[in-house]
């Protein structure tokens, strides 16, 4: 090839490449798939690469096992954990010392009787009511007996809605101050692995099996 | 006395294979396609975009610098296009366009033209540009994070990250055959081992690159990796793994062999390549970086002038 033709050839290459390049970049915006394939959590303790697709493929794992506020068949896709479990918040259960549930307010001030909640207890019998979780056990659900979470949600929320009182069904944060992101992730990932005896556990030598990226 | 022509040249020695620079560039470009096409097939249009953008912007940068410095237009030799191609081969398919364009700027303008253009660059331009970019925007070149959205039928974790943080047993699921066939994530044109080898062998047979450099580089990898592996097989993966992952293959055939940054004498070429391979393994196994190829090549580029001092004594000249 003569020098002149060589130059022309390169010009043509440059123009073709530029056109294809611009076309590819502008017409194919990298959109992230729903649901995600893999997720990378950047943390100060080493990144965590979470294979979302592989977890979805494990037989017996359902979306709801992790996206615990997501109802099967809902048209919307699950939202990210951070919308509820924020990095700067402190985990507070609805009950207990830090909880937002105010027993005194409910039993003394709102004009309710003990029996509205302690449904098998009558004040005139004396003594103390049994804790709800004695009968409504965590994680146990059957047709007859509501589980712990179901029992609380049903009772608290239905009374609020009947009385037009706050907080209602969709107002999670008024009862639950959201859990910290890290606690939420550790709680869920590690708890499931330990329950199933598969995947990295919470032991010290297992940290780097997640935090190695 | 016969009609002789006296050539006054700056320093000895030179290597000439009889063909022009442009035909050399064209041949290397063609050979690189053997690895780039499978990469584009794997990553789709995004990869095509990166490769074409890189080639186009490399040519345009060189044209611009030709105009600004009022020097003859030199893009005709195809070297700029080649730099663009080699640079793109190392990138993940998701590299944003501005990073590609910045990268080719570093490669063509900073690493090549500022040193006097083709033949005068002390470092491999694409390698220098890639290292500058990796130091500036490390996140972009973390292959695990960059390629999150791709779903493959193989384990989509950058193998070198696994061997580095989890030890040798973590990479056992990778069959060497799969790695050779490019069933691993990585740079667009760096993972298809078979394509790189075929391209490299073609270039060696045609005399465009020196087998001494390629083979000694690979020998350096094998021997150093074997030493580590024998020392502690739990921790350090074997030579086969290191040969077929990261930038090893592209390093051996396309990066270390770049003319002006590599030596031309036999012994120096062997030392140069071997040093590159061995350093790569040192960096991978005991350094902080995940892949050592780029840094190793910059280091051997640096010692290249020194190595070329080892040369046959001129006959007839007194000591």
Which position has the higher pLDDT, B36 or B288? B36
Is B165 exposed, middle or buried (CB count within 10 Å of its CB: 0-12, 13-18, 19+)? middle
CA-based nearest distance B67→chain A, Å: 15
- Is residue A56 pLDDT above 70, yes or no? yes
Query: What would the 3-class secondary structure string for chain A be?
Result: CCHHHHHHHHHHHHHHHHHHHHHHHHHCCCCCCCCCCCEEECCCCCCEEECHHHHHHCCCCCHHHHCCCCCCCCCCCCCCHHHCCCCCCCCECCCCCCCCCCHHHHHHHCCCCHHHHCCCCCHHHCCCCCCHHHHCCCCCCCCCCCCHHHHHHHHHHHHHHHHCCCCCCCCHHHHCECCCHHHHHHHHHHHHHHHHCCCCCCCHHHHHHHCCC
Q: Are the beta carbons of B125 and B107 closer than 8 angstroms?
A: yes
Nearest chain A residue to B76, by CA: A7
Q: For A124-174, how does the pLDDT look when each residue is reduced to its tens digit (9 = 90+)? A: 777 788 888 888 877 666 777 888 888 888 888 888 888 877 777 777 777
B269–A contact, CB cutoff 8 A: no
B74: domain CATH number? 1.10.3430
B30–A contact, CB cutoff 8 A: no
Q: Is residue B17 very low, low, confident or very high in pLDDT (cuts 50, 70, 90)?
A: very low
Question: What pLDDT, on a 0 to 100 scale, did the predictor assign at position B295?
Answer: 96
**Which tokens go with B145?**
């994070």
Question: What pLDDT, on a 0 to 100 scale, did the predictor assign at position B18?
Answer: 44
Q: Which of A17-31, A35-49, A90-104, A175-189 has the weakest average pLDDT?
A: A90-104
String of b and e for A26-43 (b: at least 16 CB within 10 Å)? eeeeeeeeeebbbbbeee
B83–A contact, CB cutoff 8 A: no
The percent of residues above 70 in pLDDT, for chain A, comes to: 88
CA-based nearest distance A32→chain B, Å: 6
Which position has the higher pLDDT, A143 or B71? B71
Question: What pLDDT, on a 0 to 100 scale, did the predictor assign at position A3?
Answer: 75
Assigned domain for B6 exists:
no
The percent of residues above 90 in pLDDT, for chain A, comes to: 16
Question: What pLDDT, on a 0 to 100 scale, did the predictor assign at position B319?
Answer: 46
- Is residue A89 pLDDT above 70, yes or no? no
Nearest chain A residue to B148, by CA: A38
When the pLDDT of each residue in chain B is averaged and rounded to a whole number, the result is 90
Contact at CB, B56 and A18, closer than 8 angstroms: yes
Q: Which of A149-163, B31-45, B141-155, B229-243 has the weakest average pLDDT?
A: A149-163
Q: Which of B12-21, B197-206, B213-222 has the weakest average pLDDT?
A: B12-21
Assigned domain for B203 exists:
yes
Q: Which of A120-124, B52-56, B200-204 has the weakest average pLDDT?
A: A120-124
Q: How many structural domains compose chain B?
A: 1
Q: Which of B20, B55, B85 to mutate to test the interface with A (most CBs of A within 10 A)?
A: B55
Of A156, A159, A158, A133, nearest in space to A146 by CA:
A133
Contact at CB, B46 and A30, closer than 8 angstroms: yes
Range of the domain at B185: 21-307
Question: What pLDDT, on a 0 to 100 scale, did the predictor assign at position B116?
Answer: 85
Assigned domain for B224 exists:
yes
B148–A contact, CB cutoff 8 A: yes
Query: What would the 3-class secondary structure string for B191-243 be?
Result: CCHHHHHHHHHHHHHCCCCCHHHHHHHHHHHHHHHHHHHHHCCCCCCCHHHHH
**Which tokens go with B124?**
């491999």
- Is residue A29 pLDDT above 80, yes or no? no
Assigned domain for B143 exists:
yes
Task: Name chain A contacts of B95, Cβ cutoff 8 Å.
Answer: none
Q: Is residue B229 very low, low, confident or very high in pLDDT (cuts 50, 70, 90)?
A: very high
Q: How many CB atoms lie within 10 A of CB A10?
A: 25
CA-based nearest distance A201→chain B, Å: 16
Sign of the four-CA dihedral A125, A129, A135, A141:
positive
CA-based nearest distance A177→chain B, Å: 32
Contact at CB, B46 and A17, closer than 8 angstroms: no
The mean per-residue pLDDT over the stretch A55-82 comes to 80
By Cβ distance, the residue of B48, B145, B150 closest to A20 is B48
String of b and e for B64-98 (b: at least 16 CB within 10 Å)? ebbeeeeeeebbbbbbbbbbbbbbbbbbbbbbebe
Of A81, A83, A85, nearest in space to A178 by CA:
A85
**pTM for the full predicted model:** 0.78
Contact at CB, A17 and B53, closer than 8 angstroms: yes
* HSE of B157, CA atoms in CB hemisphere, 13 A: 24
Contact at CB, A7 and B73, closer than 8 angstroms: yes
B94–A contact, CB cutoff 8 A: yes
Q: Which of A11-20, A42-51, A97-106 has the weakest average pLDDT?
A: A97-106
By Cβ distance, the residue of A18, A24, A53 closest to B48 is A24
Q: Which of A173-182, B82-91, B106-115 has the weakest average pLDDT?
A: A173-182
Residues 6+ apart with CB under 8 A from B287: B295
β-sheet bridge partners, residue B208: none
- Is residue A75 pLDDT above 70, yes or no? no
Q: Which of A1, A13, A209 to mutate to test the interface with B (most CBs of B within 10 A)?
A: A13
B226–A contact, CB cutoff 8 A: no
Question: What pLDDT, on a 0 to 100 scale, did the predictor assign at position A124?
Answer: 76
Nearest chain B residue to A17, by CA: B52
Q: Is residue A27 very low, low, confident or very high in pLDDT (cuts 50, 70, 90)?
A: confident
Nearest chain B residue to A34, by CA: B149
Cα(A50)–Cα(A42) distance, integer angstroms = 11
Question: What pLDDT, on a 0 to 100 scale, did the predictor assign at position B82?
Answer: 96
Task: Name chain A contacts of B76, Cβ cutoff 8 Å.
Answer: 3, 6-7, 9-10
Task: Name chain B contacts of A11, Cβ cutoff 8 Å.
Answer: 75
Nearest chain A residue to B82, by CA: A10
Task: Name chain A contacts of B145, Cβ cutoff 8 Å.
Answer: 40, 47
Cα(A145)–Cα(A138) distance, integer angstroms = 11
Contact at CB, A18 and B22, closer than 8 angstroms: no
Assigned domain for B184 exists:
yes
CA-based nearest distance B35→chain A, Å: 18
Assigned domain for B51 exists:
yes
């Amino acid at each position: 090839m003569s020098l002149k033709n060589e130059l022309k050839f390169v010009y043509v290459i440059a123009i073709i490449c530029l056109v294809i390049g611009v076309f590819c970049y502008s017409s194919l915006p990298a959109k992230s798939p729903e649901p995600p394939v893999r997720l990378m959590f950047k943390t100060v303790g080493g990144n965590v690469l979470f294979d979302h697709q592989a977890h979805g493929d494990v037989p017996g794992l359902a979306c709801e096992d992790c996206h615990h506020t997501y109802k099967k068949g809902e048209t919307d896709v699950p939202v990210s954990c951070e919308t509820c479990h924020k990095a700067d918040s402190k985990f507070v259960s609805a009950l207990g010392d830090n909880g937002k549930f105010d027993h005194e307010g409910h039993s003394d001030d709102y004009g309710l009787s003990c029996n509205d909640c302690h449904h098998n207890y009558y004040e005139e019998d004396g003594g103390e009511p049994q804790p709800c979780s004695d009968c409504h056990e965590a994680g146990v659900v059957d047709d007859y007996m509501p589980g712990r979470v179901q029992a609380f949600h049903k009772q608290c929320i239905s009374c609020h809605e009947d009385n037009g009182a706050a907080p209602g069904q969709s107002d999670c944060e008024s009862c639950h101050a959201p859990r910290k992101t890290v606690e939420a992730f550790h709680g869920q990932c590690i708890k499931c692995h330990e329950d199933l005896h598969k995947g990295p556990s919470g032991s010290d030598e297992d940290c780097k099996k997640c935090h190695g990226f | 006395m016969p009609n002789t022509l006296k050539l006054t040249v700056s320093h000895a020695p030179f290597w000439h294979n009889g063909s022009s620079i442009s035909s050399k560039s064209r041949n290397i470009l063609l050979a690189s396609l053997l690895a780039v096409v499978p990469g584009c097939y794997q990553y789709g249009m995004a990869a095509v975009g990166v490769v074409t953008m890189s080639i186009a912007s490399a040519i345009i940068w060189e044209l611009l610098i030709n105009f600004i410095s009022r020097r003859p237009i030199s893009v005709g030799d195809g070297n700029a296009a080649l730099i663009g191609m080699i640079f793109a081969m190392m990138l993940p398919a998701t590299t944003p366009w501005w990073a590609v364009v910045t990268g080719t700027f570093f490669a063509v303008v900073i690493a090549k033209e500022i040193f006097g253009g083709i033949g005068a660059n002390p470092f491999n331009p694409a390698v220098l540009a890639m290292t500058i970019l990796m130091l500036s925007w490390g996140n972009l070149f973390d292959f695990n994070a960059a390629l999150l959205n791709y779903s493959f039928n193989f384990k989509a974790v950058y193998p070198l990250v696994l061997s580095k943080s989890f030890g040798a047993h973590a990479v056992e699921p990778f069959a060497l055959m799969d790695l050779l066939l490019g069933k691993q994530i990585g740079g667009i044109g760096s993972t298809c081992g078979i394509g790189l080898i075929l391209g490299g062998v073609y270039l060696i047979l045609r005399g465009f690159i020196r087998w001494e450099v390629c083979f000694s580089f690979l020998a350096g990898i094998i021997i150093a990796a074997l030493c580590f592996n024998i020392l502690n097989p739990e921790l350090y993966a074997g030579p086969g793994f290191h040969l077929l992952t990261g930038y090893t293959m592209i390093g051996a055939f396309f990066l270390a062999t770049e003319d002006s940054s590599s030596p031309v004498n036999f012994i120096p070429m062997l030392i140069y390549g071997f040093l590159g391979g061995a350093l790569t393994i040192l960096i991978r196994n005991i350094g902080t970086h995940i892949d050592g190829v780029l840094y190793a090549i910059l280091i051997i580029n640096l010692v290249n002038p020194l190595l070329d001092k080892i040369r046959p004594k001129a006959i007839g000249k007194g000591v």
